[in-house]
Structure 1
Amino acid sequence: MFFRILFIVSSFCFFGQVVFGQSGQSPLLDSIPIESLEEVVLTATRTERQLSSLPLPVTLVSKKRIVQSGAIRLDEILTEQTGIVTVADESGFEGVQIQGIASDYILILIDGVPLVGRSAGNFDLSRLTVGNIKQIEVVKGPSSSLYGTEALGGVINIITEKPETDDLSGNVSYRIGTFSQQDMNLDVQQRLDKFRYAFFANRFSSKGYDLNPNVEGQTVNPFENYTVNGRFYYDFNDKLTLFASTRFYDQVQDASLFLDEVQFEGDSEEKEWNAHTRLDHKWNEKFTASYELYYTNYIANERLADPISDNILSDSDFDQTLFRPELRGSYTFGSNSSSRGFDGGTLTAGFGFQFDQLDRTFFDETVRFDSQYVYAQYDFNPLEGVNVIAGARFDNHSEYNNQFSPKLAMRYKLTDAIALKGSIGYGFKAPDFRQLYFDFTNSAVGYTVLGYNVALDKLRELQDQGQISNVVVSESDLNDPLQAESSIGYNLGLTYKKGKWNSEINLFRNDFKNLIDTRIIARKVNGQNVFSYVNFDEIFTTGFELNTVYSINNALNISTGYQLLFAYDKTKRDQIEKGEVFARDPETNQTVLIDQSDYFGLVNRSRHNANLKIFYDIPSAHTNINLRLLYRSKYALFDTNGNGLIDTYDTSFVDGFVTTNISASKTFYQNFSLQIGANNLLDYTDGNIPNLPGIQGYIKLNYKF
């Protein structure tokens, strides 16, 4: 550990000498794009809008900030944003939590189309490289009025770069870091008259690490993955443009498990491929249309066996495919009364079809969903200084009740510097394949988990086999369709932007109902249970976010962020109010009655999250330096005293902690840049946090051509 810290400190000392020893170089050809003063976002409204004018809570992360921070995977850069927390599930996959809403309910897009592959619940953000990203847009709160299922808690859209220059341009980079982590990028772009193309390739690997030497195996096993992306644009004329993109991802990772004094070994493999085609047609000055076709396939396989006897412990497969054609258009109405500030507004509407299928171990057969949807949104200014967005979407699905998802947002410009904004929206998440069709029996322990749609038939089969001692639910309880999970989200914000200051406060509340969880439906003769799924939970998350950016001058930028979060189960609060919840005090070993002050809230939610970021550019030395401090207060991993909730007497709390990330970059010989950095500089570790393996130093060399 001492040598790792010494390495980082020595590197920065050397870097400082390099920085200030070459200030007399020729003028810098900046390798980092300059940020626009009025940043444009697409995700919140599906049309181009200036970030500062939106009535919705949106976070935008620019390419400049991504490059300066030294992030190489999506989870790294998102965890530094206010109100966004990355959380690892039991598989080790890192998902994202927004406003206290779990990653299962956050939709992940790339260039506006959805990614699939939640084989363990979380969408693994670490499988997405940021090497060719133009910007990341995060819409907070229910967004089903535009995007349908899985957008119950928000949307993250990754937008790739579009070639703009006629000359061949691009970057080649190599980064090496702690744990033999290596990241290599090749990015090539060019515009040839009407034709544009971009090619990107990434290789990322690591030997993994071990946070608990007392347990056999590593916390993260060695892995190697590749990402290849090609994008093509063709301008037929000034009204018709074709976009086509294809992306391929492949990862192989060692897998091992020590069980009953036997070391099982194998590997896990992930493959993802998607193809996206869109034709953008500008019919006239008022009407534009897009014709889109999208296909994606995600495959994950894992095999564990005894290397001596070749006895197989597990052999699982996951193969998901999604196909989606969509047609949408936008029509801008003429201004009716500009003297009152009124404009005709823009109407955006679309419809499409989605076909989703999954072939998975523990499913009897390949299962399929199909759905049809239509949506519309009207964005207009009824009065001077007032912007209103009203939208709704209707989804017709083959496996659950139809969904109608409305949303209303408004922004009122009080002064040139101050604006008030608010929104209310409905979000939903359809029951997934696992919740409907799972058929799994743990061979070691003996319990069974059944998807809701197959539970009744499978339960009868187990009864015929003499495996069931008693059924604890009525047959009618398993006949009604499983409902989609839903939420209503409220956001109320105030923004201040003047001179060097840019601040925003946003109050939020999200009320959920029909959340899906497991319940016991029968008991087996071996003493184990049969589980299935049911709608019953009602929870809410509420709090506020505060973001402030202060630009001291053109070179020095300071930003701070803070989130206060309360996340509770309404049913548990009612039980506490009725005096029905008890816990055992670990200090006195006495049973005590729980009151509301003892109820901590939902698992994996921190009451406080904060960040402080300092970015400093030194143009004369062609250098930038930045420091980012991230704080997360204590949170609980699971219920340890068996009363079904997290209270002050539980012992699974992770104490609050601060991570410190730092990096410095210098450009030399016009086209070369060197970056040295360290994440988690203070070397904080906790065996309960698998994605925080201690200090991670790195050096990166980039050549821009």
Structure 2
Amino acid sequence: MIEELLTLNEVIVTATRTVRQLSSLPLPAQIISKKDISRSNSIRLSDILNEQTGLITVPDFGSSEGVQLQGLDSQYTLILIDGVPLVGRSAGTLDINRITVGNIKQIEIVKGASSSLYGSDALGGVINIITETPKNGFKGNLNYRLGTFNTNDISTAINFKKNDIGVIAFLNKYSSDGYDLIENDNLNTVEPFANYTMNTKVTYDFSDDTDLFVSGRYYTQNQDYISSEDLKGESVINEWNTHLKLSHEYNGKWNSYFEFYATRYKADEYLDTNDGTRFSDNFFNQLMVRPEIRAMYNPNDENSFIGGIGFNRETLDRTDFTTDPEFNSFYTYFQYDGNPTEKTNIILGVRFETHNIYKSQFSPKAALRYELNDKIALKGSVGYGFKAPDFRQLYFDFTNATVGYTVLGYNAVANAISQLEAQGQIANIIVPISEFEGELNPENSVSINIGADYKLSSTLNLNVNVFRNKIKGLIDTRIIANKTNGQNIFSYYNVNKAYTQGLEFNYTWMSSEQLKISGGYQLLFAKDKEAERAFKNEEVFARKNPSSPSFQLEKGDYFGLYNRSRHMLNLKVFYAIPKWGLDTNIRATYRSKYGLQDSNGNGYLDVYDIFVDGYTIIDFAINKTLYKNYQMSFGIDNLLDFTDAQNISNIPGRIIYGKLNIQF
């Protein structure tokens, strides 16, 4: 029975775009079940992802919260809802706090380059949020959670399915008074906000062989926007997604489907002075449309083939852009999934993508799993991933009105520099304009994962994974000219080579149906190859303080990339007493020290810089079921009341909450 509990419903679709049992997969992947999400009482996606091995959510300068995976920045992880991507990366980060967990069926995480199936942005991996689909009968639920900072989360879902038609509708409102970690600056760390999410799915079975799936999602948020004591305004976000899929099974071996997906992300914000004068207006309006046709062929139980073709069209209208850009790309992909022997599974995949702006990309991937015996299986994968230059890196034309510096997209440099020269604003050109006549190339990575699954007993499962992501063509910024006002002009270029490598270890122990203990650990080294060379050649110096003499640094003094922790751990204990209708859990995460900036002025993160201290977050929850259909919950997030006002804006301190769930 316990063994069945460990494997029940553990099927994953993200890794291969087909239904696969998680335990037999040759790729590093994991599933977060609806049961674990529900028992933890989490309300936003970031709450869940922070508790997973090798994942940490990191806020950017605009307070958007993205997820770092295997040491790779959030811009290299593709976020999907029901297999299709979200847009709206205004500064490279897709804010996962706009995703509620109230209607999530499960979350699937695939680590390692996945561009062979998903194209750009999947350089580091994929996180797929799978929402609920209609089930037979009529049912519904109502959830309400009230917590610290007057944080309110209320949601309801209604499900109906009879015969050939099914409908599920979900509505969520999430609001908060915000919080302030620094009391004397007259600004809040997070301003008051309110957002709404509406999601509807409709399924219709035309026959036993043909079915239709249609879904729509709408998200809107309104938040105070305060830049200083004298500048106040408002930020409004509106996002919609529509998704249609028509599937048909021709026979026991062939099936296919047509998919159409469209999404728009729109953000508007303004600032006014105290006398009501408009100081600034900013807007961001991105549209993506994608049709795709996919076919699957299963000649027998041991082999399967999948292939597809599709077209992406993206447009963006944004403040401080030189033009209204448009991306058009055509892609095709193919994958083989086979079992040449009873103990061996092989996956071979490839994707080819053309684009109207950057060079065509060819993305292969291979994975192998071999069962040594009933307890131990070895697995490994290697894949190529790429991250296309985004609209901002190509077309940005921004000048800071207060300080006076300028940031130019790669394709905007030639015209913008000519205009600034004509206006007499250029003092010196550092990088010749001729260097911007070519293309800004996509970033690319070769990802290697090697691991093992060990079923120690029917109650204890272990797995270990060693990974290395070797990244080339990193897009970075550099000074290309000096202005007559003493400020600089920046632009983007391909230069750096970097890597992230380390080890991940996970375990799950279920000693009984009542007790489940799981946890994990990640060891991470993330470094810039050019920085390693400079330290090795003894070209880097530092000062312990501004008045002390400089001294030469050694190879071992280089710490690595910014905002990466060497060690991360998590531990989760779930305990249930079914006869009392009671379950409780305690969940802990630890992140070791990391550096946010170069404090001694040599341009690198070394051991003599100032680091953010390591910290531990402990969450506790208890749930009591009453009369089958009612559940009351109480919990404390961040039990130790950890805060770091100067460096960590997304941890507000201790949060105490109560929750009520009603099933009907």
Aligned match of 1:229:
199
Contact 1:60/1:136 (<8 A) preserved: yes
Aligned match of 2:596:
637
Contact 1:83/1:545 (<8 A) preserved: yes
Q: Does 1:198 align with 2:162?
A: no
- The whole-number CA distance in structure 2 between the counterparts of 1:595 and 1:88 is 32
Please tell me the residue identity of whatever aligns with 1:244: V
Aligned match of 2:69:
98
Contact 1:38/1:51 (<8 A) preserved: no
Aligned match of 1:663:
621
Q: Deviations over 1:600-642 (max 9, x none)?
A: 1111100000011100010110110000011000011111222
Contact 2:538/2:555 (<8 A) preserved: no
Q: Does 1:610 align with 2:610?
A: no
Please tell me the residue identity of whatever aligns with 2:390: D
Aligned match of 1:273:
240
Contact 1:86/1:96 (<8 A) preserved: yes
- The whole-number CA distance in structure 2 between the counterparts of 1:678 and 1:192 is 41
**Helix, strand or coil at the partner of 2:75:** helix
Q: Does 1:483 align with 2:441?
A: yes
**Helix, strand or coil at the partner of 1:149:** coil
**Helix, strand or coil at the partner of 1:163:** coil
- State how 1:116-127 maps to structure 2 within 5 Å: 116-127=87-98
Please tell me the residue identity of whatever aligns with 1:280: S
Aligned match of 2:129:
158
- The whole-number CA distance in structure 1 between the counterparts of 2:207 and 2:132 is 21
Q: Deviations over 1:20-64 (max 9, x none)?
A: xxxxxxxxxxxxxx8862511000000000000000000110000
Aligned match of 2:420:
462
Structure 1 residue runs of 4+, over 6 Å off? none
Deviation at 1:469? 1.4
Q: Deviations over 1:466-521 (max 9, x none)?
A: 11112111232111111100000000011012311111000000000000011111
Q: Deviations over 1:241-260 (max 9, x none)?
A: 100000000000011122xx
- The whole-number CA distance in structure 1 between the counterparts of 2:470 and 2:418 is 37
Please tell me the residue identity of whatever aligns with 1:611: N
Aligned match of 2:259:
292
- The whole-number CA distance in structure 1 between the counterparts of 2:415 and 2:436 is 10
Q: Does 1:319 align with 2:299?
A: no
Q: Does 1:107 align with 2:66?
A: no
Q: Does 1:83 align with 2:54?
A: yes
Q: Does 1:684 align with 2:642?
A: yes
Contact 2:268/2:282 (<8 A) preserved: yes
Q: 220, 225, 241: which one pairs with 1:250?
A: 220
TM normalised by structure 1 equals 0.92
**Helix, strand or coil at the partner of 1:66:** helix
Contact 2:233/2:269 (<8 A) preserved: yes
Deviation at 1:295? 0.4
Aligned match of 1:22:
none
Please tell me the residue identity of whatever aligns with 1:549: T
Contact 1:269/1:302 (<8 A) preserved: yes
Contact 1:303/1:316 (<8 A) preserved: yes
Structure 2: stretches of 5+ with no match in the other structure: none
- State how 1:429-578 maps to structure 2 within 5 Å: 429-497=387-455, 498-578=457-537
- The whole-number CA distance in structure 2 between the counterparts of 1:658 and 1:143 is 31
- State how 1:581-600 maps to structure 2 within 5 Å: 581-586=540-545, 589-600=548-559
- The whole-number CA distance in structure 2 between the counterparts of 1:597 and 1:70 is 43
Please tell me the residue identity of whatever aligns with 1:253: Q
Contact 2:256/2:293 (<8 A) preserved: yes
**Helix, strand or coil at the partner of 2:26:** coil
Please tell me the residue identity of whatever aligns with 1:642: G
Aligned match of 1:215:
185
Q: Deviations over 1:325-346 (max 9, x none)?
A: 00011101236xxxxxxx3x11
- State how 1:368-407 maps to structure 2 within 5 Å: 368-407=326-365
Q: 107, 111, 135: which one pairs with 2:106?
A: 135
- The whole-number CA distance in structure 1 between the counterparts of 2:555 and 2:161 is 63
**Helix, strand or coil at the partner of 2:38:** helix
Aligned match of 1:9:
none
Deviation at 1:313? 2.9
**Helix, strand or coil at the partner of 1:333:** strand
Contact 1:35/1:64 (<8 A) preserved: no
**Helix, strand or coil at the partner of 2:628:** coil
Deviation at 1:593? 1.1
Q: Deviations over 1:433-489 (max 9, x none)?
A: 000000001111111111101111111111111111121112321111111000000
Contact 1:492/1:506 (<8 A) preserved: yes
- The whole-number CA distance in structure 2 between the counterparts of 1:355 and 1:558 is 45
Contact 2:542/2:553 (<8 A) preserved: yes
Q: Does 1:44 align with 2:11?
A: no
Q: Does 1:58 align with 2:29?
A: yes
Please tell me the residue identity of whatever aligns with 1:282: E
Please tell me the residue identity of whatever aligns with 1:695: R
Please tell me the residue identity of whatever aligns with 1:295: A
Q: What count of residue pairs does the alignment treat as equivalent? A: 658
Contact 2:322/2:412 (<8 A) preserved: no
- The whole-number CA distance in structure 1 between the counterparts of 2:35 and 2:637 is 18
Deviation at 1:587? 8.7
- The whole-number CA distance in structure 2 between the counterparts of 1:314 and 1:305 is 7
- The whole-number CA distance in structure 2 between the counterparts of 1:384 and 1:50 is 15
Please tell me the residue identity of whatever aligns with 1:521: I
Q: Deviations over 1:346-370 (max 9, x none)?
A: 1100010000000000013321100
Q: 282, 301, 305: which one pairs with 2:249?
A: 282
- The whole-number CA distance in structure 2 between the counterparts of 1:466 and 1:40 is 63
Please tell me the residue identity of whatever aligns with 1:299: K
Q: Deviations over 1:111-141 (max 9, x none)?
A: 0000000112211011000100000001001
Q: 231, 236, 245: which one pairs with 1:264?
A: 231
Please tell me the residue identity of whatever aligns with 2:197: T
Please tell me the residue identity of whatever aligns with 1:300: A
Q: Does 1:360 align with 2:318?
A: yes
Aligned match of 1:674:
632
Structure 1 window deviating more from structure 2 (117-126 vs 503-512): it is 117-126
Please tell me the residue identity of whatever aligns with 1:661: D
Contact 1:348/1:377 (<8 A) preserved: yes
Structure 1: stretches of 5+ with no match in the other structure: 1-33, 336-342
Q: Deviations over 1:304-341 (max 9, x none)?
A: 11132x23332100000000000011101236xxxxxx
